[in-house]
Structure 1
Amino acid sequence: MRWCADNEVPAAALQAIRDAVVLHGRQQTQGSDAQDIACALYDDAGVLVAGGCGRTEFQRLYVDYLWVHPERRGEGLGGDVLRRLEAQALRRGCLDALIETLLDDAAALYEHLGYACIAHVHDFVPGFTRHTLMKVWRPRD
């Protein structure tokens, strides 16, 4: 046997480790129905302007990434992306949604869109607070 570390570990091995941890976690639970979820907005020239992605699982929307092109920020596109992801999740039967951010402005936007902060980790990254926010459409039993 031989140990590898840092740059010696191939990207494929890193992905295999991630996949194995996720698979193990899902095997411990009952009823995983994980599905990718995404939406994207393109301009007339085919350039990506905004988008978001994540997954739905266990009747919850997990938003992993939400992005708006820097030149288009402040136009409400971030809220539009989130509402589209939410609409897809609701059609899939989700009861709530979870999103995290290190940006105070983004956390304020999510709160404006109906999310409530359920956790803070101050100085998660020096100078930044990690905000975990949740939006409940229907309470869980």
Structure 2
Amino acid sequence: MTSSTRAWRRDGAVPTADLETIRAGVVTFGRQQTQGSDAADIAIALYDGDELIAGGFGRTEFQRLYVSYLWVKDEHRGQGVGGDCLRQLEAQALRRGCVDALIETLLDDAAEIYEHLGYACISHVHDFVPGFTRHTLLKVWQPRD
């Protein structure tokens, strides 16, 4: 007869490696359900010499670009650098055969910029974070069947 040593751990008592195991397990299970995942990281970075001034990354999967992060250093904002980064990610995604792109933001101004760049807002979650709306935007290059 074996004795049980089960015990719940919470918050900081759960090792970071175990959090990654949980995340990977959910992703793996989901991808097994959909079959045929072709997930691949995608990234772009702009440097001035050795200084990183802008960049973005996400993944491509199932013919879609998922933009996770898009960032521009404060002093370079408002100069079109963010739009250039997004266009660079899109160009890579198109070369990979993507037919659309998905991006999210909590900033109304960023959502407007994305709309100006051809994205359409497909959902809003008001007060996602107090005082902020979560915008989900989609850009379609080629309609899906």
TM value normalised by structure 2: 0.95
Amino acid at match of 1:36: D
Residue in structure 1 matching 2:115, options 99, 108, 111: 111
Structure 2 residues without counterparts, runs of 5 or longer: 1-5
Q: Mapping of 1:119-138 within 5 angstroms?
A: 119-138=123-142
What SS does the corresponding residue of 2:143 show, helix, strand or coil?
A: coil
Residue 95 of structure 2 aligns with an amino acid whose one-letter code is R
Say if 2:26 is the partner of 1:21.
yes
Alignment pair present for 1:69 and 2:80: no
Deviations 1:103-127 (A, max 9, x none): 0011011000000000000000000
Q: Map of 1:22-101 to 2, 5 A cutoff?
A: 22-44=27-49, 46-101=50-105
Name 1:10's counterpart in structure 2: 15
**Aligned partners of 2:52 and 2:132: how far apart in 1?**
27
Matches of 1:107 and 1:126, distance apart in 2: 17
Distance in 2 separating the partners of 1:47 and 1:2: 47
CA offsets, 1:116-140, max 9 Å, x none?
0000000000000000000000000
Instruction: Name the aligned partner's letter for residue 66 of structure 2.
Output: Y
| CA distance in 2: counterparts of 1:13 and 1:47, whole angstroms | 34
What's the RMSD between the two structures over aligned residues?
0.5
CA-CA distance at 1:3 after TM superposition: 1.3
Match of 2:3 in 1: none
Aligned-residue offset at 1:47: 1.2
C-alpha deviation, 1:30, in angstroms? 1.8
Distance 2:125 2:7 in 1: 37
2:32 partner letter: Q
In the superposition, the TM-score normalised over structure 1's length comes to: 0.98
In structure 1, the gaps of 5 or more residues are none
SS of equivalent to 1:53: strand
